[in-house]
Amino acid sequence: MKKIYFLVLLVALSFQSAMAQNDNLKHPFEIAKEEGFGYRGLKKLIGMDSVYAGTFFESSYHDFLSVLYSQVGRYKEARHEAEAAGTMFVNHKRFAHNYKNAIAIPLSKVMDSIIENNRVIMLNEMHINPHSRAFVISWLEKCYENGYRYLAAETLSEQDSLLNERRTPLLRTTGFYSDEPVFGDLLRIALNMGYTLVPYESYDFNKREEGQADNLINNILGNDPEAKFLLLGGMGHITDRNGWNTMGRYFKEKSGIDPFTMDCALYFDDPYWEADSLQAIYFDLIDAMPLREPVIIYDTAKHIYINFTGMDATCCLPCTRFIEDNIPDWKLYNGKVLYTINRRFIKKNGFSEGCVSAFLKSEGEQCVPVDQYMYGKDESEFKLALYKGEYLLRFDDGKEYRYVTVTVK
C-alpha cells in the first residue's frame, strides 16, 4: 500500500474537486510532500500567505503550517497559524456556567483508580502542540504495571510492518504526526517498555470512524480477547457517547467495552495568553493554583467527572512554562537534559539559519530525532532537550546538510 499520511492526506483528498478549480494552485500538502515534508516542506510553504489568501485552500494552508511548525519546535508560530486557519478553541464564556460546582482534583489522586478499573483508556491530543504527547508518556509505566500491553495510535501506518521488531519510529514511514520528536519518543519509550504498537487508521474515508473502531477490534481484540490497551487519538475521535458518530462510540457499541475517554485537548494549553491558563480555563471559579501537575474536573453536586464533548472526563495540563527561550518544561521528561548550541558552534558546523535535528547515533537519521529546532540568524543560542549519549546533529538550510557528532553528558 502506498504511503498514506492519515489526517493530512485526508484533507488533501477531500479537496480534490476543489483542486480542479484551481488548475495552477497546488494543495499545500502536495508542495510539502515534494520537499519530503519536515523542515524543507515548511520552508517551501513559509511566505505563501498571499498565494493562498482568498482561495479554497487558505484554511488548509495555515492548518498544515501549524503542524509543521510544531514539528520543528516553533510552538508560538504553530499557535498563530492555527488561529489563522480558524481552528476552534474553547469559548470560555459559553462553558462557564457548566462549572459552577466544579473543583480541580490532582490527576495523581485518581489515576491509579482509572487505570485499575478500566481495560481500555483513550486519550486525545491537539496535533499542533506536543504537550499532550509528553503527558501520555507519564501513563505508560503505570498502565504497563497493570497489564496494559498495547498502545494504539492514530498516526501509525500499516506500512511500517517492522516497527515492533525494530523498536524505533522511522521518519515519513511510521506515521505523519510521529515525525514530531516528542511523539516519536513516546513511541520509542513504549516499545522499549514492552508495548506492542497498533495502527488502526481506516483507509475508507467515507466510513473512517467506524473503520477505525473495526480495526481496533480486529487488530487487538481479535488476537487477544482479554487485552488491555491505551490509545492516543486526535481531538474528538475518541468520543464515546450516543449521538456522536465517532470511533469511540463505534468501538463501545461493537466491542461491548466501555472505554475510559478523557479529553486533554478541549482546554488548549496556551503559554502565550497573558492570563494563567489554569485560571482562565476554569473561568475564575478555581483560584490560582500552585499545582504543577495535570488536574481533572469534578462536579461536587453531581458527583461525576464532567465533560461536554461526549467523553468521560476533562483533564487540564498545567500551563507551559519555558525553562529557556525555546524549551517548554514538559520536554524534560525521563532524565532529559539541556544541550546548548551557540552561535560559535553553528558557525563552525552549520548554517546561519536553518534547522538542527539530533538523531541518536545508534539509530541514525532515518529515525525520528530526539529533538529538533528551527533557528533564526538572530538567535545567539538555543537549547535541545536530549538524553545523555552519542548524537548525530544534522544542520539543514533547506538546500544542503551538514553533520557533526556530539556527546551529551
Q: How many domains does the chain divide into?
A: 3
> What's 380's domain CATH number?
2.60.40
Structural contact between residues 372 and 356, judged by C-beta atoms closer than 8 angstroms: yes
Q: What's residue 85's pLDDT?
A: 87
Which range marks the domain in which residue 378 is found? Answer: 335-408
357 assigned to some structural domain: yes
Query: Does residue 174 form part of some domain?
Result: yes
Q: Domain boundary at 85, 110, 134, which?
A: 85
Are 126 and 256 members of one domain? Answer: yes
Question: What is the pLDDT, as a whole number, of residue 236?
Answer: 86
- In a domain? residue 167: yes
Output the pLDDT for position 4: 39
Nearest to 371 by CA among 386, 360, 382, 381: 386
- pLDDT of 87 reads 63
Residue 215: inside a domain: yes
pLDDT of residue 273: 47
DSSP lists the bridge partners of residue 230 as 121, 151
Shared-domain flag, residues 227 and 283: yes
Q: Are residues 167 and 71 in the same domain?
A: no
Residue 219: give its domain's CATH number: 3.40.50
- 330 within a domain of the structure (yes/no): no
Cα separation, 41 vs 33, in Å, equals 7
Q: Does residue 132 fall inside a structural domain? A: yes
Residue 58, in any domain of the structure: yes
Do residue 367 and residue 281 come from a single domain? no
Same domain (yes/no): 304, 170:
yes
Specify the length of the chain in residues. 409
Among 316, 349, 372, the domain boundary falls at: 316
Same domain, 113 and 195: yes
Q: Are residues 77 and 18 in the same domain?
A: yes
Give the pLDDT score at 238: 95
Residue 207 in grid coordinates: 466510513
Residues 102 and 207 in one domain: yes
Contact of 209 with 99, CB cutoff 8 Å: no
Beta bridge partners of 339: 384
* Mean pLDDT, each 10-residue run in order, the chain (409 residues): 41 44 80 93 95 94 94 91 73 56 84 97 92 94 98 96 96 95 98 98 91 97 97 92 90 97 74 46 46 78 78 84 88 96 97 98 97 96 97 97 97
Distance of CA 246 to the CA centre of its chain: 19
Regarding whether 186 and 53 lie in a shared domain, the answer is no
Cell of 263: 479529553
Beta strands 196-199; 150-153: pairing state: parallel
Is 326 within the bounds of a domain? Answer: no
Task: State the Cα–Cα distance between residues 378 and 29, nearest whole angstrom.
Answer: 29
